[in-house]
């Protein structure tokens, strides 16, 4: 009995990874896990977080996704469109006057994005916690990919022009510490570009693709980045759905249909700058 009430106390007072508050409201529950909403900052997160062994087993390719494929298989398929996406992203960086210099991709998997960035003249570096994915990128593309966590990766401080974090932030064990470390690695005026899954309750209930711990909104993403020391933070919701027509005008039309819009996969995308003189 004593053990049960102690567990309950721990559950109720587990600290929010964004603001540190111990007060949260339960939104949903399944299979011994809860989706909770922080009363203080509004962060939606899973509690308890996925254990480290579950997270690692996913990235190492030991568990299967709902599609039946392992994450490693999922990542290695579709290399052509991943390279196309990488180039679209590099175009967007160039439009913001980040067309070269030192670039770090956090959670780079096999390193397709930095492989394309290198072709454009960037000096590139990748990190990934999966030895399977990082090893593939080192062996097949000759890239420098470290097997280190974003919160602790030790690279030269104040040396990077751009750090990208695509679709891995909500699975991190220590998201705030990761952003603080990234902030220290950037030059003054440097840019972080981050995309992550949106606070979509349907995603948590029916379509968990990866061990997501955080379900972010532009407001909570802003708060994470500001707390880590970034200035000029721009966060917004973007819609991703590979099954819809690719012409932008047709897509916009489809998304005006409420049912389609609610089913579409939404992401939070954020840009933030390290202030001059930080």
Enumerate binding residues for Zn ion (CB under 5 A). 16, 18-19, 21, 38, 40-41, 43
Q: Pick the closer one to Zn ion by CB: 44 or 72.
A: 44
CB of 20 to Zn ion, least distance (A): 7
* DSSP one-letter code for 186: E
CB of 219 to Zn ion, least distance (A): 12
CB of 25 to Zn ion, least distance (A): 11
Q: Pick the closer one to Zn ion by CB: 43 or 145.
A: 43
CA distance 47 to 104: 30
Q: Pick the closer one to Zn ion by CB: 137 or 175.
A: 175
Give the CA distances from residue 71 to residues 57, 77, 170, 261, in Å, rounded to whole numbers and listed in that order. Answer: 9, 10, 16, 27
CB of 248 to Zn ion, least distance (A): 36
CA distance 159 to 102: 7
CA distance 45 to 33: 11
Burial of 22 (0-12, 13-18, 19+ CB in 10 A): middle
Q: Pick the closer one to Zn ion by CB: 117 or 214.
A: 214
CB of 23 to Zn ion, least distance (A): 8
Contact 49, 173 (CB under 8 A): yes
Structure token digits, residue 239: 């819609």
Q: Pick the closer one to Zn ion by CB: 130 or 196.
A: 196
């Amino acid at each position: 009995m004593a053990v049960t009430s102690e567990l309950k106390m721990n559950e109720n007072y587990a600290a929010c990874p964004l603001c540190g508050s111990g007060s949260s409201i339960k939104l949903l529950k399944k299979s011994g896990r809860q989706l909770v909403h922080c009363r203080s900052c509004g962060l939606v997160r899973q509690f308890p977080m996925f254990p480290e062994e579950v997270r690692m087993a996913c990235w190492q390719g030991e568990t299967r996704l709902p599609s039946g494929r392992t994450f490693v298989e999922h990542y290695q398929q579709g290399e052509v469109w991943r390279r196309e996406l990488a180039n679209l992203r590099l175009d967007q960086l160039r439009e913001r006057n980040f067309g070269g210099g030192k670039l770090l991709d956090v959670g780079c998997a096999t390193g397709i994005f930095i492989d394309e960035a290198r072709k454009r003249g960037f000096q590139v570096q990748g990190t990934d916690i999966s030895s399977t994915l990082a090893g593939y990128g080192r062996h097949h593309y000759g890239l420098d990919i470290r097997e280190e966590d974003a919160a602790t990766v030790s690279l030269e401080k104040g040396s990077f022009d751009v750090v990208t974090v695509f679709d891995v932030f909500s699975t991190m064990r220590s998201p705030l510490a990761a952003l603080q470390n990234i902030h220290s690695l950037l030059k003054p005026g440097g840019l972080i570009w981050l995309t992550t899954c949106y606070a979509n309750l349907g995603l948590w209930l029916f379509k968990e693709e990866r061990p997501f711990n955080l379900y972010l909104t532009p407001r909570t993403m802003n708060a994470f980045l500001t707390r880590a020391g970034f200035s000029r933070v721009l966060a917004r919701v973007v819609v991703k759905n590979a099954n819809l027509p690719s012409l932008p005008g047709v897509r916009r039309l489809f998304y005006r249909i409420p049912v389609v819009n609610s089913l579409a996969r939404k992401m939070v995308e954020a840009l933030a700058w390290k202030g001059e003189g930080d």
